[in-house]
Amino acid sequence: MIENFDMSLVDWSRAQFALTAMYHWIFVPLTLGLAFIIAIMETIYVKTGNPEWKKITKFWMTLFGINFAIGVATGIILEFEFGTNWSNYSWFVGDIFGAPLAVEGIMAFFMESTFIAVMFFGWNKVSKKFHLISTWLVAVGSNLSALWILVANGWMQNPVGMKFNPDTARNEMVNFWDVLFSPTAVNKFLHTISSAYTLAAIFVIGVSAWYLLKKLNVPFAKKSIVVAAVFGLITSLFTVMTGDNSAREIVRDQPMKFAAMEGLYDGSKGAGLVAFGIMSSTSENGNDNMKDFNFKLEIPNLLSYMAYMDGDAFVPGVNDVINGFTDNDGVVHPSVRTKIEMGRKAIHALKTYKKAQKDKDVNLAQTSLDELNENFKYFGYGYFDDPYNTVPPISITFYSFHIMVGLGMWFLLLFTLALLFVYKESIVSNKWFLRAAIWSIPLAYVASQSGWIVAEMGRQPWVIQDLMPTLTAVSNIDITSVQITFFLFLTIFTGLLIAEIKIMLKQIKLGPNHGGH
Amino acid sequence: MFENLSHLALQQYWWVIDSLLGSILVFLMFVQGGQTLIYRLGKSDEERTLLINALGRKWEFTFTTLVTFGGAMFASFPLFYSTSFGGAYWVWMAILFCFIIQAVAYEFRSKPSNVWGAKTFEVFLFINGLLGTILIGTAVGTFFNGAEFTVNELNQSRWANPYGGLEAVLNLHNVALGLTVFFLARLLGSLYFMNHIEHEAIFNRSKKQLLYCGIPFLVVFLFFAIRLLVMDGFAIDAETGTVSVEAYKYLHNFLAMPLVLILFLVGVVLVLFGLIKSYLAEKYTKGIWFTGGGTILVVFTLFLLAGFNHTAFYPSNADLQSSLTIQNASASHYTLTAMSYVSLMVPFVIAYIVWAWRAINNKKLDLEELRNEDHLY
């Protein structure tokens, strides 16, 4: 059935969404984390009355403002792209997906935009406490914005709290709380925001390290490092914890994605963890998504332990998911071939049901409805012919995952060392560390983007796990239109990114004593 | 509470909320209108900076309202969202590009090393003000004049021509609404400057704009309104759901909903009162509240006219029976109920916005304040 779809339209639509989402995610994590760091700094200022802390707060606030604006600019398009480029998707799941977006607007965006004005313009107009509350509300508001969109994304990875309505041909929400508190959504939110806080902490440490290297604003830089390192150490530990929880969710709900992340083709009991691996250009089974390993460093039993807290547990690989397997709880997972058959039955039953409704054939409508309900769980598989088309691109998922985890470990060490050197009062003399801290800024962005690549590439070919393949979600539009908008976005966003980086660098060079611009 | 309401009642409730958001959005477009007047009202760099900073403290509200309006439409009427956005691709993309460039323009304009220069960001603001308003108005015009789409039995939509919605500009009535929004935004922008800035020359120049923009505004608005009253509309048969063309449909809607008609007329009077009083009085600064309040009422009632009284709010010219109504395009009863509870927070949101703004807008913006401000646009 794949041949019925215009795959190049699907690919261009995906490319455009990936481009706009990745650009947006350059700016968002810094906003989310810096908002809290600023709030902590201002709290110290209000508590101590020390004007030095006010200066520190205002400096980071200036950088926050620059970053916030471009985050807003790149964010608006994402909300509307669900309609412009993914129109079938926005109908099929709009009844569930739209609600978090609306709540986001009402609850979070207004809080953010109201109090950000007080935060920037209220220094001489409102009391210290009012200003401090406003700064905290900006942090809460921006993080609430992240909550709702991540709930929506979590739902796409693990659709819960809904029922398919054949009359409207869409999924409809039946339990808001199931959607909001789905473990996938909760883990996704916590892991994403804590990683964002970590990025912001690295940003503050990196910029401060540059001052220390240049012997500029030394007291300011040291104070900033202390706040950011404590904040970063806590949040990076939390990121590791939530990432671990998230992986355990994925192995149960999206075993194919988990196998891709770990580069596990054939599952086994007591599966080893590939700590490091290099994939070749040749592939297993002739499937381009499944590259062989040239080299891999494997730690025995660790993957089973991490996935199920049991070193002898069975972890399914890609081929197990394709051929079917029985998990550690004794639940039988049918083969993809069986799922394809069930999906086809569901699609056929839906068409028959619609026709029967039109012809007012009550009996046929009921039997086709029963068949639809029986097979709906694998509705989306009906669009595939070859089971191996349900395998995500493994090498990019594997590498992204390992880059993210490896860098995460480095960040933990970075925060620990920063605190240690500050405590020993030797941070200024450890020039290698200061340089490493500066270089960790781009690495934090690499880790952050890698996380999203794992999340989104790893779940391909699904836009809604098991229910809607990405190829059926696109709008029926002319491919040239998508190509033109792709390059327009690329040009505009790149132009704005260049401006933002230059402005940021200039503000950093001007330093905290500049007092604005 | 909400769960006991019928699906139709919830659909109407959400149409009212979306209409309210849409009308507040048009009022807040004084920011866009003001952006098109920066060079007309500001004769020196200092004056232009004053104007931009006056607008810069409000732009996020317009932006946030637009985003919330989009989110609310998605959530409450997802079939409209998937049909219009997926089909009228170029119209919506053009609108979005206008807003992307606005969001950075304020923050980047006066920053050193901004690469592209202050002038570029001022041009961004102008494009946003000019095209953003005209395109949004033109797009809303299709609520009355229809668009070229079809929807199949699985509710998947397809645009019936290759122009991606840009064909809407060929309809004079759509364009008239676009121009109405544009001139109205400029009028509201002028009134905002008169209210918010302490600067005599800017005040007097803004006042002149009330005449220069007021006359074309009245011409295009009257054309739009009169044509609306005499044109055919798209009626739904309450029994069968069949859509048909009905002569004088929107006039009939006004007559069938006298409260809507009264609110519309009150709105028009308030708009005109705010404009005339501000122009004639020597130092009147409250015009923004009358014209702004009137704008909200007029736009609100126009939305009600489009969606209520058995009217298809998004008619299809390609296939009449594909037309969208508040009943066939809406979210499920459960989702509308859940969101209705969330909507109870709206008064609370409005309250804290008012509270926060009162706290920091206790006096007019002047050059002196800007000289002491370290967060400048």
- For every residue of A252-300, DSSP letters joined together read HH-HHHHHHHHT-SS-EETPPEEEEEEEEEEEGGG-TT-EEEEEEEEET
Question: Could you report the predicted ipTM of this complex, rounded to two decimals?
Answer: 0.89
**Quick one: A425 and A437 in the same domain?**
yes
Q: How many percent of chain B have pLDDT more than 90?
A: 73
In a domain, B111, yes or no: yes
Among chain B residues, the shortest Cα distance to A62 is held by B375
Question: Does A517 score more than 50 pLDDT?
Answer: no
Average pLDDT over residues B164-168: 91
Question: Does B2 score more than 90 pLDDT?
Answer: no
The SS3 of residue B200 is helix
Q: Which of A84, A170, A499 has its CB closest to that of B155?
A: A170
Distance from CA of B250 to the nearest CA of A (A): 29
Give the model's confidence band at A285: pLDDT under 50 very low, under 70 low, under 90 confident, else very high.
low
The SS3 of residue B255 is helix
Find all residues with CB under 8 Å of A213, minimum gap 6, and list them: A431, A434, A435, A438
Distance from CA of B323 to the nearest CA of A (A): 15
Q: Which of B96, B104, B353 has its CB closest to that of A110?
A: B353
Determine whether the interchain pair B115/A498 forms a contact, defined as Cβ–Cβ distance below 8 Å.
Answer: yes
Among chain A residues, the shortest Cα distance to B118 is held by A499
Give the model's confidence band at B304: pLDDT under 50 very low, under 70 low, under 90 confident, else very high.
very high
**Quick one: A197 and A71 in the same domain?**
yes
In a domain, A402, yes or no: yes
Q: How many percent of chain B have pLDDT more than 70?
A: 100
pLDDT recorded at residue B370: 80
Question: Does B34 score more than 60 pLDDT?
Answer: yes
In a domain, B377, yes or no: no
Chain B partners of A91 at a C-beta cutoff of 8 Å? Answer: 78-79, 82, 155-157
The H or E element containing residue A273 is strand A273-283
Determine whether the interchain pair A84/B85 forms a contact, defined as Cβ–Cβ distance below 8 Å.
Answer: yes
**Quick one: A224 and A82 in the same domain?**
yes
Question: Does A398 score more than 70 pLDDT?
Answer: yes
Chain A partners of B365 at a C-beta cutoff of 8 Å? Answer: none
Mutate to test the interface with B, among A72, A355, A504 (most CBs of B within 10 A): A72
pLDDT recorded at residue A515: 56
Among chain A residues, the shortest Cα distance to B86 is held by A84
Burial class (CB in 10 A: 0-12, 13-18, 19+), A227: buried
Question: Does A316 score more than 60 pLDDT?
Answer: yes
Q: What is the mean pLDDT of chain A?
A: 91
Give the model's confidence band at A284: pLDDT under 50 very low, under 70 low, under 90 confident, else very high.
low
Write down which residue in A387, A419, A454 finishes a domain: A387
**Quick one: A325 and A341 in the same domain?**
no
Enclosing domain of residue A363? 336-387
Contact status of A109 with chain B (Cβ, < 8 Å): yes
Top pLDDT among A88 and B269 is at B269
Contact status of B75 with chain A (Cβ, < 8 Å): yes
**Residue B281 tokens, joined:** 């009085």
**Quick one: A202 and A290 in the same domain?**
no
Q: Which of B332, B356, B376 has its CB closest to that of A115?
A: B356
**Quick one: A27 and A118 in the same domain?**
yes
**Residue B92 tokens, joined:** 């919506």
**Quick one: A170 and A289 in the same domain?**
no
Average pLDDT over residues A166-192: 91
In a domain, B2, yes or no: no
**Quick one: A219 and A159 in the same domain?**
yes
Chain A partners of B123 at a C-beta cutoff of 8 Å? Answer: none
- Establish how many alpha carbons lie within 13 A of residue A203's alpha carbon, considering only the half-sphere containing its beta carbon: 28
Distance in angstroms (rounded) separating the CA atoms of residues A16 and A438: 31
Write down which residue in A294, A311, A333 finishes a domain: A333
In a domain, A13, yes or no: no
Question: Does A3 score more than 70 pLDDT?
Answer: no
In a domain, A289, yes or no: yes
In a domain, B56, yes or no: yes
Give the model's confidence band at B70: pLDDT under 50 very low, under 70 low, under 90 confident, else very high.
confident
CB atoms within 10 A of CB B217: 22
**Quick one: A140 and A69 in the same domain?**
yes
Chain B partners of A124 at a C-beta cutoff of 8 Å? Answer: 372
Q: What is the mean pLDDT of chain B?
A: 92
Question: Does B355 score more than 60 pLDDT?
Answer: yes
The SS3 of residue B334 is helix
DSSP H helices in A326-393: 336-359, 362-375
Question: Does A287 score more than 80 pLDDT?
Answer: no
**Total of domains in chain A:** 3
**Quick one: A429 and A321 in the same domain?**
no
Chain A partners of B373 at a C-beta cutoff of 8 Å? Answer: 121, 516
Enclosing domain of residue B214? 7-371
**Total of domains in chain B:** 1
Contact status of B351 with chain A (Cβ, < 8 Å): no
**Residue A103 tokens, joined:** 């709540």
Across the strands, what pairs with B73? none
Query: What angle is formed at CA A353 by the lines to CA A350 and CA A354, rounded to 5 degrees?
Result: 90
DSSP state of B231: S
448-477 of A, contacting B, C-beta below 8 A: 475-477
Distance in angstroms (rounded) separating the CA atoms of residues A211 and A218: 7
In a domain, B268, yes or no: yes
Determine whether the interchain pair B113/A502 forms a contact, defined as Cβ–Cβ distance below 8 Å.
Answer: yes
Determine whether the interchain pair B353/A477 forms a contact, defined as Cβ–Cβ distance below 8 Å.
Answer: no
CB B135 within 8 A of CB B95: yes
Distance in angstroms (rounded) separating the CA atoms of residues B219 and B223: 6
Determine whether the interchain pair A122/B334 forms a contact, defined as Cβ–Cβ distance below 8 Å.
Answer: no
pLDDT recorded at residue A337: 95
pLDDT recorded at residue A113: 86
**Quick one: A307 and A371 in the same domain?**
no
3-state secondary structure B61-90: HHHHHHHHHHHHHHHHCHHHHHHHHHHCHH
In a domain, A214, yes or no: yes
Angle separating helix axes B7-28 and B333-343, nearest 10 degrees: 50
Distance in angstroms (rounded) separating the CA atoms of residues A294 and A276: 11
Contact status of B64 with chain A (Cβ, < 8 Å): yes
Which of A138-147, B74-83, B288-297 has the highest mean predicted lDDT (pLDDT)? B288-297
In a domain, B285, yes or no: yes
Find all residues with CB under 8 Å of A391, minimum gap 6, and list them: A256, A260, A287, A289, A290, A318, A322
Distance from CA of B11 to the nearest CA of A (A): 13
**Quick one: A192 and A92 in the same domain?**
yes
